[in-house]
Amino acid sequence: MRATIYHNPRCSKSREALAMLHDAGADVSVVEYLKTPPTRDELARLYARAGMTPRAGLRTAEPAAKALKDADDAAILDAMAADPILIERPLVETDKGVRLGRPSEAIREIL
């Protein structure tokens, strides 16, 4: 099984998800999204495939997220593409789908 994880090595949930993928025997592509951010279109594709809105993928704990309180999905995607710290992590994609690893157990659905 192939998997891609949008990963922040400083995040315990992200490290936990990566370990889960390795334990499952996945061939993992790791994208450190703060260094190599996904494009706006890629984010839109990932969230659509996950069946979630961009707002559900917004890291609301970040100070810059406060300005997006009343923003629509397009504005949220634009903000995430411009400032990838706003992307909640970890985001994992396999052939079976895309899941946000919060909680980490959600990733098991696509293994």
The structure tokens 């996950």 sit at: 50
Average pLDDT estimate for 89-99: 97
Looking at 1, 2, 5, 11, which residue is catalytic?
Answer: 11
First to last CA, the chain: 8
Distance CA 35, CA 68 (A): 23
- Overall size of the chain counted in residues: 111
Catalytic residue flag (residue 11)? yes
Q: Bigger pLDDT: 102 or 44? A: 44
Sketch out the chain's domains with CATH numbers: 2-110 (3.40.30.10)
Q: Which residues pair with 35 in a beta bridge?
A: none
Q: Using the 8-state DSSP alphabet, how is residue 39 labeled?
A: P
Tens-place pLDDT, residues 35-88:
999 999 999 999 999 999 999 999 999 999 999 999 999 999 999 999 999 999
User: How would residue 23 be classed by pLDDT, with cut points 50, 70 and 90?
Assistant: very high
CB atoms within 10 A of CB 3: 23
